[in-house]
Amino acid sequence: MTYQIQGEKGTWEVVIGMEVHAQVIAESKLFSGAAASFGAEPNSQVSLVDAAMPGMLPVLNEYCVEQAIRTGLGLNAQINKTSVFERKNYFYPDLPQGYQISQFLHPIVGKGEIEIDLPDGSAKTIGITRLHLEQDAGKSVHDQHPTKSYVDLNRSGCALMEIVSEPDIRSPDEATAYLSKLRMILRYLDTCDGNMEEGSMRADVNISVRRPGDGLGTRCEVKNVNSLKAVQQAIEYEAQRQVEIIEGGGTINQETRLWDPAKQETRSMRSKEEAHDYRYFPDPDLLPLHVADTWIERVRETLPELPDQKKHRFMKDFGLSAYDANVLIAERVRADYYETVAKGRDAKLAANWVLNELLGALNKDNKSISESTIAAGQLGALVDLISDNTISGKIAKDVFAEMYKSGKDPVQIVEEKGLKQVTDTGAIEKIVDEVIAENPDNVAAYRSGKDKLFGFFVGQVMKKSQGKANPNIINELLKKKLSP
């Protein structure tokens, strides 16, 4: 379905490209040994290099490079065997060196692509232009003192991957699908935690509009879009704004704009003329980075199964729908959980229990699957109890509720509460006879053709057996005894 904006003078198409900054999961920073964890006391994770003391020199963190290679492979991208770190020069108090070490002309990762899943169930390929490694800046804190600003350098020097997409995105939905998929891939690879609230994944959105079929329009870069919702809203607003300007006879200025979530609008931050001249040049403190084929291959061997591969396998091997498969693979832990439950069992039944019961309950409590009180093995045991007729599906729901509350094993709950299904035909027959005897009117009505009353009899028998009677036996006996 094409997303189009209806202007006063016709329809418009939106063209979107994304620049995502993803903080690399690593013990230490890109060029120093300081810790890179989030949430520590301000300025407690700052080495002499991060503070840019005189005479300090950067030393490249091999693990961060490996993470970039891993991510590149996960994005089906070309790994450049030679890349160059350059200095991006500008002054700001949270940039201690007065330059950011980044990659410019020669990034470590070149062209790639990912497949995004759209709400209507279709898929689309989005091109990746490049991925490069760079240092993060520190943080300026302006709200702690009336006249002073504070600087926290904990983040200064942490490794970032900047992942740039081709302008292949055509709607707000595609943009959020792209971000979701990218985040999913990064999490599967364990190269970025994808946490947009903590800022470990940040997106800048390049937006332009054009008449369908025309060449690219002038774009604006929108910053400060810190959630999927903000991405959606910012694109809708910005595209509309551009359409109104062009239809009003104006032109779009290439500029950087800021998304204001409170006012729900973008506003100009700096124009092209005011743009910094970053004076990029190769960092003479660092040699060009050469990556050996053997290293790339070694990393490739350690790649986990990626979301799309997993999705297709789930559909093929487990007979799941694309929708169910998509939900299950959304997180690697979730998919792993499901696979443990499904192993050696009815895969569809397992999927139902994970999707409907477990995820339903967790969602209600705003919890993730890693916080579940029920271990995958325990949920599997519950599926076993259903499959071998120890309990009915209905009883299983009660057992599940108890498991969810207490974390106990299902077998234990069934035993303690005496929930085992009654399969003794004689005992069930006795109840069936009682129910028929107690409801002569309904029996007569049923026999005279009111088939729907069958359910009433099943319910009555179930009730008397406290839910434990095997439903198949009840059905069989009732059919026999009720037939005229």
Partner 1 sequence: MTNLTHLTIEQALKGLDKKEFTAVELTQAHIKAMEKFRSLNAYIVETPEIALKQAAESDKRRAGGKAGLLDGIPLGIKDLFCTEGVQTTAASKILEGFKPQYESTVTANLFRDGAVMLGKTNLDEFAMGSSNTTSAFGNVINPWKRKGDNTDLVPGGSSGGSSAAVAARICMGATGTDTGGSIRQPAAFCGITGIKPTYGRCSRWGVVAFASSLDQAGPFARTVKDNALLLRSMAGYDAKDSTSADRPVPDYAAAMTGNIKGLKIGVPKEYRVDGMPAEIEKMWQQGIEWLKAAGAEIVDVSLPHTKYALPVYYIIAPAEASSNLARYDGVRYGQRVTSGKDLKDMYQKTRAEGFGEEVRRRILVGTYVLSAGYYDAYYIKAQRVRRLIYNDFMSAFEKCDVLLTPTAPSAAFPIGENEDDPVKMYLNDVFTVTGNLAGLPGLALPAGLDAKGLPLGLQLLGRPWGEETLFNVAGVIEKAANFTALPESVQKAA
Judged by the rule CB under 8 A, the positions of this chain that interact with partner 1 are: 48, 51-60, 87, 89, 91, 93, 96-99, 151, 277, 279-281, 284-287
> Other C-beta atoms within 10 Å of 263: how many?
9
* Total residue length of the chain: 484
**Could you tell me which residues come within 8 angstroms of residue 264 by beta carbon, excluding any fewer than 6 positions away?**
233, 237
* Nearest residue (CB) to partner 1, 147 versus 448: 147
Written as six digits, the tokens of 325 are: 């498969």
* Nearest residue (CB) to partner 1, 59 versus 123: 59
Least distance from C-beta 99 to partner 1, angstroms?
5
- Residue 163's DSSP bridge partners are 20, 131
* Nearest residue (CB) to partner 1, 31 versus 457: 31
Least distance from C-beta 29 to partner 1, angstroms?
14
Q: Give CA–CA dist 387/392, Å, rounded.
A: 9
Residue 176, exposed/middle/buried by CB under 10 A (0-12, 13-18, 19+)? buried
* Nearest residue (CB) to partner 1, 238 versus 255: 255
Least distance from C-beta 254 to partner 1, angstroms?
15
* Nearest residue (CB) to partner 1, 90 versus 323: 90
Least distance from C-beta 363 to partner 1, angstroms?
46
Least distance from C-beta 139 to partner 1, angstroms?
14
> Other C-beta atoms within 10 Å of 275: how many?
11
Q: What is the DSSP letter of 286?
A: S
Q: Give CA–CA dist 129/240, Å, rounded.
A: 26
Least distance from C-beta 52 to partner 1, angstroms?
4
Q: Where are the alpha helices (DSSP H) in 319-406?
A: 322-329, 332-342, 347-352, 359-364, 376-387, 393-406
* Nearest residue (CB) to partner 1, 99 versus 457: 99
Least distance from C-beta 135 to partner 1, angstroms?
14
* Nearest residue (CB) to partner 1, 98 versus 119: 98
Least distance from C-beta 107 to partner 1, angstroms?
19
Sign of CA dihedral 87, 88, 90, 96: negative
**Could you tell me which residues come within 8 angstroms of residue 20 by beta carbon, excluding any fewer than 6 positions away?**
162, 163, 164, 165, 179, 182, 201, 202, 203, 204
* Nearest residue (CB) to partner 1, 43 versus 224: 43
Residue 149's alpha-carbon distances to 94, 140, 153, in angstroms, are: 10, 7, 13
Least distance from C-beta 60 to partner 1, angstroms?
7
Helices 425-438 + 471-482 axis angle, to 10: 50
58 phi, psi to nearest 5 deg: -80, 140
Q: Which helix (H) or strand (E) holds 133?
A: strand 123-135
* Nearest residue (CB) to partner 1, 102 versus 421: 102
* Nearest residue (CB) to partner 1, 53 versus 123: 53
Least distance from C-beta 205 to partner 1, angstroms?
25
The tally of CA atoms less than 13 A away on the side-chain side of residue 245 is 17
